[in-house]
Homo-oligomer: A and B are copies of this chain.
């Protein structure tokens, strides 16, 4: 399968889960996963999910603008880079966001 298509499918799944059932992100992390979020570091499914489910907003909607990917490491992994807008419920203006994974 085309790596770009894999990356795009993963990104769509990740953010639709984020926007509809944030606790479900737990299925997308493992115990050796790491999250760096605005300068803070979290490791492991529980720590990462706890951070993401306690963000100071409830309903949100990610609008993806770009998805780029590159192969990473010898085991067929990849780095995916995403940018877009984040609309929070009740806020007039969207925030810019970007994330690499």
Contacts and interface: CB of A to CB of B under 8 A. Distances in A.
Nearest to A37: B68
B79 A66 contact: no
Interface residues of A, number: 19
Interface stretch (A16-24, A56-64, A70-78, A86-94): A70-78
Interface string A8-37: 000000000000000000000000001010
A98 interface: yes
B73 A73 contact: yes
B70 A72 contact: no
B74 A73 contact: yes
Given A36-B70, A98-B98, 20 more contacts: A34-B70, A34-B71, A36-B68, A36-B69, A36-B81, A38-B66, A39-B68, A72-B72, A72-B73, A72-B79, A73-B73, A73-B74, A73-B77, A74-B74, A79-B79, A79-B100, A81-B100, A83-B98, A96-B96, A100-B100
